[in-house]
Amino acid sequence: MKHLLSTQDLSARNALRLLDVAEEMSAVGEREIKKLPALRGRTVVNLFFEDSTRTRISFEAAAKRLSADVINFAAKGSSVSKGESLKDTAQTLEAMSADAVVIRHPASGAPARLAASGWIDAAVVNAGDGTHEHPTQALLDAFTLRRHWARIGGGPSAGTTLAGMKVLIVGDVLHSRVARSNVWLLTTLGAEVLLAGPPTLLPIGVGSWPCTVYYNLDDALAQRPDAVMMLRLQAERMNAAFFPSTREYSRRWGFDDGRLALLDTMGLHDTVIMHPGPMNRGLEISSAAADSPRSTVLAQVRNGVSVRMAALYLLLSGDHHDEQDGEMHDELPATTPEGRIK
């Protein structure tokens, strides 16, 4: 892998490699000294054209745990807000010898543009672009799901897939980069994906996606999903006639207390509730659901650091095995040159 731009073009082999390396990275996070020397002397730039404290600090923690130098470049208050183009910003970072650029951008495709333009040599990591993709979010979701699935199965998660798992994604799919990345990645890993939401918030063209679409959340829940992922409802959608009112949205597509109780009634004791955050409590998810033992919200945040460590490590370690054919999960790479993980 030279870049991590989307999950649609991520092979099963590379996806599993990322998740398996993330397992090893997560072990680092449990040690007293949470730091590896793997990326010492390398520079990671967090180039954020959109506010996102959560994603940025997750990438920052990941890079720092790998001993990389981290530069945070926020568009607000920088030359970008004075009209500097993406090209000039990229070339500036190139001149500063950035090894990796983690980019968050409101325009779909901006990371792909950066990677393909020749403006910069650095590895490009998409940290969320417009309504296109958010691959590291999907990887951390898959990581969380895989651990859950492995725990139910009673085995270790490393090397396993999501085969047999049923994941329901609920809400504003149209504008959600999280949903897109998850649809591709979870199906690549063998899960069955269901979508539920108002027809106005499902894209024209969703029929060609590898998933089943429901307009009624309760019909979708009746399919007995193993995980329910609630998408954030963006404030700007509320006044654009996508649905009549937030109360109606909440009643029809919110994960409320009634639906939380329904999971128990249906005997779905192992079904987890996910949310990429930040949550609109009382809108797409009730407080009781968000705080219930089924909720993986905090585990998702924790796993985000491990997954981003894995991504940065694999992109910058110079270990380019992805072009080869082979088994989906052949032998794990030595996760650090120094062998310091175990």
Interaction between residue 277 and another protein (CB under 8 A) = no
Q: How far is the CB of 110 from another protein (least distance, A)?
A: 5
If the CB atoms of residues 28 and 112 are measured against another protein, the closer one turns out to be 112
In the complex with another protein, the residue whose CB is nearer, 8 or 72, is 8
Q: Is 104 in the site for another protein (CB under 8 A)?
A: no
Task: Name residues contacting another protein, limited to 162-221 (CB under 8 A).
Answer: 177, 180, 203-206, 208-209
Size of the site for another protein (CB under 8 A): 27
81 binds another protein (CB under 8 A): no
The reply on whether position 110 binds another protein by CB under 8 A is yes
CA–CA separation, 225 and 194 (whole Å): 8
Closer residue to another protein (CB): 99 or 133: 133
Which listed residue (25, 80, 112, 285) binds another protein by CB under 8 A? 112
> Binding residue for another protein (CB under 8 A) from 57, 74, 107, 301?
107
Considering the complex, what minimum distance in angstroms separates the CB of residue 268 from another protein?
30
Please pick, from the candidates 11, 85, 97, 287, the single residue that binds another protein as defined by CB under 8 A: 85
Q: How far is the CB of 290 from another protein (least distance, A)?
A: 26
- In the set 78, 92, 108, 280, which binds another protein (CB under 8 A)? 108
State in angstroms the smallest separation of the CB of 144 from another protein.
Answer: 23
Interacting positions 128-157 with another protein (CB under 8 A): 129-133
Q: Locate 231 and state its tokens.
A: 């998408």
Residue among 211, 213, 157, 151 nearest 187 (CA): 211
Give whichever of 42 and 132 is closer to another protein, judged by the CB atom. 132
Work out how close the CB of 127 gets to another protein at its nearest, in angstroms, rounded to a whole number.
15
Asked if residue 134 lies in contact with residue 128, where contact means CB atoms within 8 angstroms, the answer is yes
Report the binding-site residues for carbamoyl phosphate.
54-55, 104, 134, 137, 277-278
SS3 string of the chain? CCCECCCCCCCHHHHHHHHHHHHHHHHHHCCCCCCCCCCCCCEEEEEECCCCHHHHHHHHHHHHHCCCEEEEEECCCCHHHHCCCHHHHHHHHHHCCCCEEEEEECCCCHHHHHHHCCCCCCEEEEEEECCCECHHHHHHHHHHHHHHHHHHHCCCCCCCCCCCCEEEEECCCCCCHHHHHHHHHHHHCCCEEEEECCHHHCCCCHHHCCEEEECCHHHHHCCCCCEEEECCCCHHHCCCCCCCCHHHHHHHHCECHHHHHHHHHCCCCCCEEECCCCCCECCCECHHHHHCCCECHHHHHHHHHHHHHHHHHHHHCCCCCCCCCCCCCCCCCCCCCCCCCC
Instruction: Find the binding residues for another protein in span 4-23 (CB under 8 A).
Output: 8
Strand partners, 69: 43
User: Which residues are annotated binding-site positions?
Assistant: 54-55, 82, 104, 134, 137, 177, 232, 277-278
Output the smallest distance, CB 327 to another protein, in A: 28
Q: Which stretch binds another protein (CB under 8 A): 16-24, 84-92, 243-251, 279-287?
A: 84-92
Distance (Å, whole) CA 177 – CA 127? 10
Residues of the binding site for L-aspartate: 82, 177, 232
Spatial CB neighbours of 44, under 8 Å, sequence gap ≥ 6: 59, 63, 68, 69, 70, 71, 98, 99, 100, 101, 102, 312, 316
Residue whose CB is less far from another protein, 113 or 146: 113
Looking at the Cβ atoms of 209 and 242, the one nearer to another protein is 209
Nearer to another protein by C-beta: 115 or 305?
Answer: 115
Residues in contact with another protein by the rule CB under 8 A: 8, 85-87, 105-110, 112-113, 116-117, 129-133, 177, 180, 203-206, 208-209
